[in-house]
Amino acid sequence: MRKPSALVISPHLDDAVFSCGELMAALPGALVITALAGLPPVAMSAPPWDATAGFASARQAVLARREEDRIGLAMLEAQPLWLDYLDGQYGTSPSQAALAEALSAVLLTLTDSLVLAPAGLHHSDHGIVHAACAVVWERDSARPWFFYEDAIHRRTPGALDRQLATWNDAGIVATLAAPSGLRSLPVTKLRKARAVAAYASQYPLFGGEQLADLTAPERYWQWERRHWATARASVTTACA
């Protein structure tokens, strides 16, 4: 595989573009690893979110969203990699350990690329994926890692402040930082907007304030360990 410009870990089939679309527009060639992109059982009815989007079954929704993801990422010259774990709305969430092992297996084959991982704000699926990423970061922190603020979910009052406090309690110093290559320019904004629009089954379900967040500046945090020896054991538990 050609070296990706970045490895973007996405909880769902839209989060990478919603949260990091401008950066991906500025860094063509990213690989987007969507953790919760597995296909539900054929007979599973659409849960409320999918039914509101017009789907009759859960599998129909995921297949449609995979196609949306393929189209949206292609607009940013990025490639998808879909893991087989299920979105939490389908009833079975992966364990932190299993997801961490799956992510490690991918990242260890691409050791030179920077990693963009979710900050894990508000949504339970985002929290699970973030906790797994924290495990992988422990093993792989020599390369550049950036934790992106989860678009839409960062609008939840207090969500970011609570997560920053959690990181601090776990011995993590989190610093707002811009990945190399991030350029907020009219052309990157336009490319992100076009890619966001590809997620046609999701986009109309959000309210005005949530949609406004998709055009707000992308923000990224870098981690450093404080008191490595005493805090090491606590970070993955605290971030869950």
User: What is the tens place of the pLDDT at every residue in 106-139?
Assistant: 999 998 889 999 999 999 999 999 999 999 999 9
pLDDT above 90 coverage of the chain, percent:
80
For residue 233, pLDDT beyond 50: no
Does the pLDDT at position 214 exceed 70? yes
- 167: in domain: yes
Distance CA 27, CA 4 (A): 9
- Lateral strand order in the sheet of 79-82: 79-82, 31-34, 6-10, 114-118, 145-148, 220-225, 172-176
211 occurs within a structural domain: yes
132 inside domain:
yes
Does residue 1 lie within any of the structural domains?
Answer: no
Q: Which domain holds residue 197?
A: 6-238
CATH number of the domain bearing residue 154: 3.40.50.10320
- Number of domains the chain is built from: 1
Whether 179 contacts 114, CB under 8 Å: yes
pTM recorded for the entire structure = 0.92
What letter does residue 184 receive in the DSSP assignment?
-
